[in-house]
Amino acid sequence: MKIIKRNGSEAEFDKQKIAVAIGKANDAVEESCRITPLQIERIVESVVISCESLGRSPGVEEVQDMVEHQLMAHGAFELAKIYITYRYTRSLVRQSNTTDDKILSLIECNNEEAKQENSNKNPVINSTQRDYMAGEVSRDITNRILLPEDIVKAHNEGIIHFHDSDYFAQHMHNCDLVNLEDMLQNGTVITGTLIERPHSFSTACNIATQIIAQVASNQYGGQSISLTHLAPFVAVSREKIKRDVKAENADIGRELSDEQISELVERRLREEVRRGVQTIQYQVVTLLTTNGQAPFVTVFMYLNEAKNESEKRDLAMIIEEVLEQRYQGVKNEKGVWVTPAFPKLVYVLEEDNIHEASPYYYLTKLAAKCTAKRMVPDYISEKKMLELKVDKNGDGHCYTCMGCRSFLTPYVDENGQPKYYGRFNQGVVTLNLVDIALSSGKDRDAFWKTFDERLELCHRALMCRHNRLKGTLSDAAPILWQYGALARLGKGETIDKLLYGGYSTISLGYAGLYECVRYMTGKSHTEPEATPFALEIMEYMNAACRRWKAEHNIDFSLYGTPLESTTYKFAKCLQRRFGIIKGVTDKSYITNSYHVHVTEEINAFDKLIFEAKFQALSPGGAISYVEVPNMQNNLEAVMQVIRCIYDNIMYAELNTKSDYCQICGYDGEIEIKDEDGKLVWTCPQCGNQDQDKMNVARRTCGYIGTQYWNQGRTQEIKERVLHL
């Protein structure tokens, strides 16, 4: 069994150290208050059993909590007091130097929590270490100076989660929809160099990747671009190629018919589209931003976003090429085709592509084939989105998420026109719903009272995020604020006007709805008797967002949080404060947002239909998923799920597996085995457990992760049941 030390590094669990610590405290009390060696031995064994029952590596603080509990249980109150006093004294000593200790453990790559904080960051490379080191300093400043003490305390205790505190010291926002159309059509500036309107599709794709990299380096959340903004440059290339073909044939004195010229032009155009799409695919997966990771970018594919039928046909050509290349994958270091994490693809289901008689049905079939092998694209239902995203004029709109799931709320500009590209999210603070329930002791009055207190805590924390952005000069990130990605403000101008009136959003996140309802009602929120209470909780949080919006003229929005490493942190904090409660705190994770629990048996169609009503109450963003086996030989079943998404839910995805063992060439599901209390990824064919010699891709928070996960998230992945 392993233990997680205070600096995040991992070590062998040594029960003798517990005995030594108890022995030292035992020697410090009067002889009449001492316990016997046999009692010490029993206490140590009880602690070991408790640690083993966690199903994961315990932290040092957790072990010490267990020791305290056992000392009290044995009636050794004086001894317990000495032990607690010693812990407190040592804690004061450590507080003066925790940041240095964490940074050193990061440099030496033995900080297990940091190594698994983000499943798309490689913690070994210098750029990631530099980002983590800067993050530790920023987090230290944030906790000591920038945030109120009660908010920091609530975050540390897992009552709330103040997201991305390692970036809070800087004036940075979360995620956005890049206005690629403005930047390509009107030009932009990248690192002091003027980039004019491109004269070909391939050049437009190259510029787009440079924009993606620049944007990613000036924010901490995801970004989204639309292929529609690249589509006009297909026509530009077509005309250019046509001129070249005519000139070439004139030079050699050959006459071709209009049909022959058109055929030759389209063949060359297809090749240019292929090269352009390949540029985006390979640039995105090979780029490293200043924070040591590939850009968290989402590519949006929406046929009805095209301005006319000609542009729609060109857009369809781009979408087809994107899906074909993603289906193929990218080569790993061994030259084997594997599943890349980025870019994330989002495909809109609409009347033009959802029915067999639809003109673009072939694209949806290709999307299904790609999903079955590579887990993307994810799907937005135009029909459901038009119902849910309605602006003040009563018009529905369909548009992409920012990153993996965060959605803007409908917005109409001063000219009465809907606007989405160029808008952004200010940040997120997440509420731990499970903690509210457990703190109430199942008393409904206490539940709502505690809920109000926690909501107000989140409200103040969110205003800290907002106020940190207020006064930010456009000069802080010219690519964002001056050169079109989000705005075209003047030098020295603040971004303040973009923070109000609904132009940007700010998100109240929530997690653990399932466990919250399970504790309060004794039932899963999927059971008819408990569903109304779950929906009441959702409505309660939305009502709070409406109140805050009216008070501040800021667009607060409810957001189904994609917990990654925090799912483990919340679970550990709950166990520490409330103990192990069956069905509530007996896992090393809590459930993301409103999702059906990963162990609950439910078919794909019922799951999507059930979760749709909760997704509708998460206007700030949410995504539903179904877990499926290898579907490459059953694409009709994939199409049935896709049709269900179109008819019932706004945004959903299918999760499958896409793994490869570099030792033996196994191309199947890499398994998770429990070895001495630690979950280890293992090749079922050769037993390889070296993570550097296998490629594993799993969906963990809307994005595909490829750099592995902490023990809590790994347990959640291991316990997922199939929905088909």
Task: Of 213-227, 235-249, 283-297, 495-509, give the lowest mean pLDDT range.
Answer: 283-297
Is 189 exposed, middle or buried, given 0-12, 13-18 or 19+ CB atoms closer than 10 A?
A: middle
Q: Provide the 3-class DSSP secondary structure of residue 302.
A: coil
In the chain, % of residues over pLDDT 70: 92
pLDDT value of residue 524: 98
Asked if pLDDT for residue 271 goes beyond 60, the answer is yes
- Catalytic site includes residue 573: no
CB pairs under 8 A, 24+ apart, for 609-616? 609/644, 609/648, 609/649, 610/526, 611/649, 612/384, 612/648, 612/649, 612/650, 613/535, 614/513, 614/534, 614/535, 614/538, 614/560, 615/560, 615/649, 615/650, 615/651, 616/388, 616/650
Give the count of alpha carbons within 13 A of 403, CB side only: 28
Rounded distance between C-alpha atoms, residue 175 and residue 620, angstroms: 12
Asked if pLDDT for residue 700 goes beyond 90, the answer is no
pLDDT value of residue 3: 85
Query: How many Cβ atoms from other residues are within 10 Å of residue 414's Cβ?
Result: 7
Cβ(589)–Cβ(567) below 8 Å: yes
pLDDT tens string 544-581 = 999 999 999 999 999 999 887 889 999 999 998 999 99
- Catalytic site includes residue 404: yes
Active-site annotation holder among 175, 183, 370, 538 = 175
Active-site annotation holder among 425, 507, 565, 593 = 425
292 CB-near residues (< 8 Å, 6+ apart): 121, 122, 125, 126, 127, 128, 129, 130, 131, 132
pLDDT tens string 116-156 = 454 455 555 666 666 667 777 788 888 888 999 999 999 99
Rounded distance between C-alpha atoms, residue 467 and residue 486, angstroms: 19
Cβ(587)–Cβ(616) below 8 Å: no
In the chain, % of residues over pLDDT 90: 70
Q: Which strand (E) or helix (H) includes residue 365?
A: helix 361-374
Rounded distance between C-alpha atoms, residue 643 and residue 713, angstroms: 30
Rounded distance between C-alpha atoms, residue 149 and residue 165, angstroms: 14
- Catalytic site includes residue 406: yes
How far, CA to CA in Å, does 634 sit from each of 370, 371, 565, 638?
Answer: 12, 12, 34, 7
218 CB-near residues (< 8 Å, 6+ apart): 172, 476, 477, 479, 480
Active-site annotation holder among 677, 702, 705, 712 = 702
How far, CA to CA in Å, does 372 sit from each of 7, 15, 153, 203, 665?
Answer: 41, 47, 44, 32, 20
Task: Of 240-244, 333-337, 634-638, give the lowest mean pLDDT range.
Answer: 333-337
- Catalytic site includes residue 156: no
How far, CA to CA in Å, does 520 sit from each of 442, 550, 558?
Answer: 5, 31, 22
Cβ(352)–Cβ(359) below 8 Å: yes
pLDDT value of residue 55: 72
Query: What confidence category does residue 108 fall into, taking pLDDT thresholds of 50, 70 and 90?
Result: low
pLDDT value of residue 127: 64
Query: What confidence category does residue 603 fall into, taking pLDDT thresholds of 50, 70 and 90?
Result: very high
pLDDT value of residue 119: 47
Q: Give, to the nearest 10 degrees, the angle between helix 60-73 and helix 37-53.
A: 130
Asked if pLDDT for residue 78 goes beyond 70, the answer is yes
**Mean residue pLDDT across the chain:** 91
Rounded distance between C-alpha atoms, residue 315 and residue 229, angstroms: 9
Cβ(235)–Cβ(311) below 8 Å: yes
pLDDT value of residue 101: 61
How far, CA to CA in Å, does 274 sit from each of 204, 205, 574, 624?
Answer: 13, 11, 51, 32
pLDDT value of residue 113: 54
pLDDT value of residue 362: 98
Asked if pLDDT for residue 111 goes beyond 60, the answer is no
pLDDT value of residue 418: 95
Query: What confidence category does residue 31 fall into, taking pLDDT thresholds of 50, 70 and 90?
Result: confident
Q: Report which of 316, 390, 404, 300 is spatially closest to residue 360, judged by C-alpha positions.
A: 316
Is 471 exposed, middle or buried, given 0-12, 13-18 or 19+ CB atoms closer than 10 A?
A: exposed
Query: What confidence category does residue 5 fall into, taking pLDDT thresholds of 50, 70 and 90?
Result: confident
More confident: 62 or 663? 663
Query: What confidence category does residue 8 fall into, taking pLDDT thresholds of 50, 70 and 90?
Result: low
Active-site annotation holder among 136, 320, 350, 564 = 564
Token pair recorded at residue 410: 């409908």
Token pair recorded at residue 575: 């166990």
pLDDT value of residue 222: 93
pLDDT tens string 423-457 = 999 999 999 999 999 999 999 999 999 999 999 99
User: DSSP string covering 316-334, please?
Assistant: HHHHHHHHHHHHH-EE-TT
Active-site annotation holder among 402, 516, 644, 701 = 402
Cβ(688)–Cβ(695) below 8 Å: no
- Cα-only R_g, the chain: 27
Query: How many Cβ atoms from other residues are within 10 Å of residue 490's Cβ?
Result: 9
37 CB-near residues (< 8 Å, 6+ apart): none
- Give first-to-last CA distance, the chain, whole Å: 35
More confident: 119 or 15? 15
Active-site annotation holder among 111, 143, 174, 504 = 174
- Catalytic site includes residue 402: yes
More confident: 137 or 506? 506
Active-site annotation holder among 559, 589, 646, 660 = 559
Q: Which strand (E) or helix (H) includes residue 654?
A: strand 651-655
- Catalytic site includes residue 541: no
Q: Provide the 3-class DSSP secondary structure of residue 627.
A: strand
Rounded distance between C-alpha atoms, residue 457 and residue 437, angstroms: 16
Q: Average pLDDT of 508-536?
A: 98
Active-site annotation holder among 404, 538, 573, 694 = 404
pLDDT tens string 614-657 = 999 999 999 999 999 989 999 999 999 999 999 999 999 999 98
Q: Report which of 664, 655, 657, 706 is spatially closest to residue 684, judged by C-alpha positions.
A: 664
Rounded distance between C-alpha atoms, residue 259 and residue 613, angstroms: 53
Active-site annotation holder among 406, 440, 655, 688 = 406
Query: What confidence category does residue 507 fall into, taking pLDDT thresholds of 50, 70 and 90?
Result: very high
Asked if pLDDT for residue 95 goes beyond 60, the answer is no
pLDDT tens string 349-408 = 999 999 999 999 999 999 999 999 999 999 999 999 999 999 999 999 999 999 889 999
More confident: 150 or 334? 150
Asked if pLDDT for residue 458 goes beyond 50, the answer is yes
Token pair recorded at residue 311: 């542009």
Give the count of alpha carbons within 13 A of 607, CB side only: 26
Asked if pLDDT for residue 267 goes beyond 90, the answer is yes
Residues pairing with 655 in the sheet: 627
